[in-house]
Structures are given as C-alpha cells and as structure tokens.
Chains A and B, each alone.
Chain A
Amino acid sequence: MTTQVMDSKAGRLSLANIWIAFITFLLASLMGVYQVAERSGFFPQIEVIELYFRSVSSHGVIMGFVLTTFFIMGFGYWIARSTLHIPLWGGDKLGWLGFLISLGGTAMAAIMLFIGKASVMYTFYPPLMAHPVFYIGASLLVVGSWVWCLQMIMTMSSWKKQNPGSPVPLAMYAMTANSILWFITSLGVASEVLFQLIPWSLGWIDTIDVGLARTLFSWTLHAIVYFWLIPAYIAFYTLVPKAAGGALFSDEFSRIAILMLLVFSVPIGMHHLYVDPMQSDGWKFVHMIGTFMVAIPTLITGFTVIASMEVAGRLRGGKGLFGWIKALNWDNPMVLAGGLSLLMLTVGGWGGLVNAAYSMDVAVHNTQWITGHFHLIFAGTTVIMYFAIAYYMWPSLTGRPLYSIKMARLQLWLWFIGMLVLTLPWHILGLIGQPRRIGAPPYSEEFTAPWVPYETAMLVGGVILFISALLLIINLFFSHFQNKAVQRPVMEYAQPLHPVLKLPGLLNGFGFWTAVIAVYMVASYGYPIVQFFLMETHGTFPWSI
C-alpha cells in the first residue's frame, strides 16, 4: 500500500483543495473571535447586530461547507493516488473542473455573505431569505463536489476491475463510502435549494412551504456530520496506528463501522426537528432510535482505535493495564491529535446523548448547549484530525519537510484547550437558559449576570483558537514554500494486525448497502415528505413550482 513515490504534479489538485479549505478556515476563525467578542456584551462599541449575523452566517457556511468539502476532496484525491496507484477516473482535468465549479460557487456565495445579502446562517432555513446568487453559489459548491464523488466511486471501481478479488485498501474504501454518503445526503438540501429556495428568492413564487424545506434540510443536516467525521475516522484507523508505530487492530471491524455509519447516518435527521410542529411524534421517535444506532459504529471505532494504540504502546515497551498509554509517542502530531480528538469525542458524545433524546432535548433545545455540542464534535474532534492529516500529508504532497513539529504540537494543544474553554461554558450557558443564535444579550443585566463568567471564558477560548488557527497556516505555509526540498516520502498507512487477503463482497463493495440505504430512506423519509403534497397547505405551494 505504500510503495509509490509521487511526482511533483501529483499533489497539486489535493494541495489546491486543501489550501482553499485552510485559507477560508483562517478567515472564518477570525470571524469567530469577532463573534465571541460581540456576543459577550463586553464591547458595546462593536455591537452591530446586522454585522454580527453577517459574520455568523459566513462563519457557519465556511466552516460547515467550504472547509470541510474542499479538505475532504483534497484528502480523498490523495488517498486515491497513494493507495490505488492508478490514475483518477476521468483524469486530473475532471478533478480540476469539479474544483473550479466548487470554487466559483464558493466565491458567489461568499460575496453575497460578505455584503450582507445572505445573513441566513448555516442552516438557511426559510422564511429567512438570501439573495438568489447565494443559493446558486452554494448549489455549485455541491455540484463541484459531486464530480469528486463520481471520481472516487469510479476510481475504486476501476481498481477493483484491475484487481479482482483483492481487498480495496481501507483508507480508499472508507473515503469512497464517504463520497456515497455525501452524494446521498446532499440530495436533500439540493432539492430544497433547487425547487424551493431559488424559485422563491428569484420571485417566481410568492410563498414557500417551510415545513417541507426544513424536512428536506434535515435530510442533509445530520448525515453531513458523518461526511465531516469519516476522514477523521480514516486517520484514526490508518494513520494514527502507523504514526504510533503499531498496526490496525482489525481491518474488518473498521469496515463494519464505516458501513454502519453509511447506512445509519442518513435517515435520522429529524432529530433536528424535535420541537417543529410539521412532523408527528411517531416519526421523530423513529429518527431518535436511528440516531442512537449511530452510537454502535462510534463505539466500534473507539474500541478499534484505542486497541490499535494499545498494541502500539505495548510494542514500545508499555506494561500493565495502562502503562502502554505512557509509552506512546505523544510528541508525534498525529498520535497527539488522535488522543486529544478522542477525549473531545468522549465529552461531545455524552452531550449528544442528551440532545438526541426526544425527552431531554426540550431542556436544551435552541440553547447554547447545542452550539457547544456541535463545536466540540465538529470543530474539536473532527477538525483537529484535519490538522493532523495535513501535517502528515504535507511532506508527501509538497516534497518538503514540515517546517516545525514543535509548532504543530503547540498548535494542536492550543486547539484542544481553546475548544474546551470555549465549549464547556457554552454547555453550562445552555443549561441555565441562554438561547443560541443571539448576538450581544438583548436582556436585562439582572437576567444575564450569571452568564458573565462563562462569557468571559468563551472570549478567552475564541482568542486561543484563533492563535491556533494562525499557527496552522504559518506552519503549512513555511513548510510548502521553503527552499529545503526533500525526496518526496511515500504516504504510509497502518497495516492490519492480521493481514487481510480476502474479504466477503459485502465488506469490499457498496452495491448492496446503497440499496439498503434507499429502502431505509424511503421508510423513514417517504411519508414525512409526501405528506406535504397531500395535506391542505392553506394557499402555499407544496413543492413551490
């Protein structure tokens, strides 16, 4: 799996995608600092509510759609090259076409966000309406990523034809699963934008069925989290054990977890609609059960990754029940990030159990608890692994050594500390009733007095995170553009403890699982969507055309 040295052109497509991801990430991090300062209420001179929501919308769209999509595309292209050693299906030119479509769409959406014509936040729920150029731009970002999906699926398929019966390398198998997941999950928001939001924002129709729009968005809204998370899992399975000097505990277990994520993650989005009236309790309950099912692959992943690290620790001389933890090479950025990420997943996963429960959700719904939860899972658990992946890939992508491993370690620690300092107070603020989606508190001082210590911590956390983001960019920039070239190292992946020579077809392909998802989707989203075409909507157009 690790035998080919890449030529200098091979990494350009990946590098272009990853640089777009991280440059926009730095911008969005800066916005984050402004937002925590504004939201704290400590700086009345910067309290401009219109600017705040412009910033919140830009921050959310960039972090949730731009950073993730471009980073995952870049990582995916590099995995395809470095594991399969065959040309991309459709060639690099097709990859560049997808990149340019996504980039053009991002630019269109960004302009509208920055000039205040799209302050509809990351969820862009109607009746908030943005400029049509924003919706068209966001659609193009997704369409460009579909080119990537097609290339991932077809490249894996071509490799399988050339290597009949051979197990697809785990990293590529998981990334292809992710491309299928993304294609299926993005269909929900694509339908909403194409058939509802664009016609409505263009003035072609006067009214819009908000219930249908929110239901379609929920189709995308949860599984997108797993689209973000699977690259982190790929790093857990294939890069962390390698960096730790060990092996993957079980290749088969890892594939089962990925497949379970693929099947369980899409038809569960209605837990985002627990207090919305347009869906009945029964459907919400069905989606809640599905949501808790996702805990199974998460636990499998936890077990496999920790067991892999235990093997590595024991191979490094660690003894006893926990002695292997101390023996691990925590000075390696990938190992360090893996440990910190798992710690954040532990806390964030516990929070998720609370807001995923239909009953308990009402105690935290629409409070700052939710913001704390998704920042801890996404910006913490997931994005810290993106940093580690970038550090790991950079020498093989650029042909230059990492500028400073010490700076990388500092950056990861700052991200971890900053994220906890930011999000744990947010959880508490939510429990004491602070709403999310507000700027500087528009309430009496008496009411907001208990918030002050947590708001102060939030501000400190935001600044630490921005410093960390800056260090990431500095390190990657100086690594990429330094003169000290090295022989381009191969991208190495962990091998399983027990070599996998042959796999059942179900663990080496996706045909059957795609059919299962289709059936599950029809069962869990069929009637909840069809009902909007059957019920009396009092003058609104159900499908808006």
Chain B
Amino acid sequence: MVKLTPEEQAKAIAEAPRGTWAILLVYAVFMVLGWLYMFYGFFLPHGPVH
C-alpha cells in the first residue's frame, strides 16, 4: 500500500470514477451482446423448450 500525501488523497477523492464507468460500459456491451445472442442465436431458432 502506497502512502499518499494529503494533496494526493484529496485528488484521489475528487477524481471522477473513470474506471467504474469503463467497467460498466464493458458490462453493458457484454449484456447487450449476450442478450442479442440469446434472442437471435438461441431463442428464435430454438423456440419453446421441448
């Protein structure tokens, strides 16, 4: 664990959560792709469970 100066701490707190937005963006892309795959790749050709 790196010891931060008070200035660095204040900067870390004030900084926008860019990493969080990036993670959520990646997550959203995977969710949409996954959903599209399930709908067009699985559900439409497959139909109801049998």
List the interface of chain A (C-beta within 8 A of B). Answer: 247, 249, 299, 302-303, 306-307, 310-311, 313-317, 320-322, 324-325, 327, 329, 346, 349-350, 353-354, 357, 359-360, 362-367, 431, 433, 497
Contacts and interface: CB of A to CB of B under 8 A. Distances in A.
Nearest to B17: A307
A331 B49 CA distance: 44
Contacts of B3: 317
B35 A306 contact: no
A367 B50 CA distance: 10
11 contacts: A306-B19, A306-B20, A306-B23, A307-B20, A310-B20, A311-B13, A317-B1, A321-B18, A321-B19, A350-B34, A367-B49
Interface residues of B, number: 29
Interface in B8-50: 9, 12-13, 15, 17-20, 22-24, 27, 30-31, 34-35, 38-39, 42-43, 46-50
A314 B15 contact: yes
A362 B49 contact: yes
Contact of A317 (B4, B15, B35, B38): B4
Given A314-B12, A327-B1, A363 B43 contact: yes
B29 to A, nearest CB: 12
B42 A363 contact: yes
A362 B48 contact: yes
A363 B48 contact: yes
A322 B38 contact: no
The prevalent SS among residues of B at the interface is helix
A313 B15 CA distance: 12
Given A354-B35, A363-B48, A322 B2 contact: no
B19 A325 contact: yes
B38 to A, nearest CB: 5
A360 B43 contact: yes
Contacts, number: 82
Which 6 A/B pairs are nearest by Cβ-Cβ distance?
A: A317-B2, A314-B12, A307-B17, A362-B48, A307-B20, A306-B20
Nearest to A434: B49
A215 B16 CA distance: 46
Given A314-B15, A316-B1, 13 more contacts: A302-B27, A303-B17, A306-B20, A313-B19, A321-B18, A324-B19, A350-B30, A350-B34, A350-B35, A353-B35, A360-B39, A363-B47, A497-B13
Contacts of A362: 47-49
B4 A310 contact: no
Nearest to A498: B13
B42 to A, nearest CB: 7
A316 B2 contact: yes
Given A315-B13, A321-B22, A433 B50 contact: yes
A313 B18 CA distance: 13
B12 A311 contact: yes
Nearest to A359: B43
Contacts of A327: 1-2
Contacts of A314: 12-13, 15
Nearest to A315: B12
Contacts of A359: 39, 43
Contact of B42 (A247, A306, A307, A431): A431
A22 B32 CA distance: 38
Contacts of A302: 24, 27
Contacts of A365: 48-49
Nearest to B15: A314
A322 B46 CA distance: 39
B17 A249 contact: yes
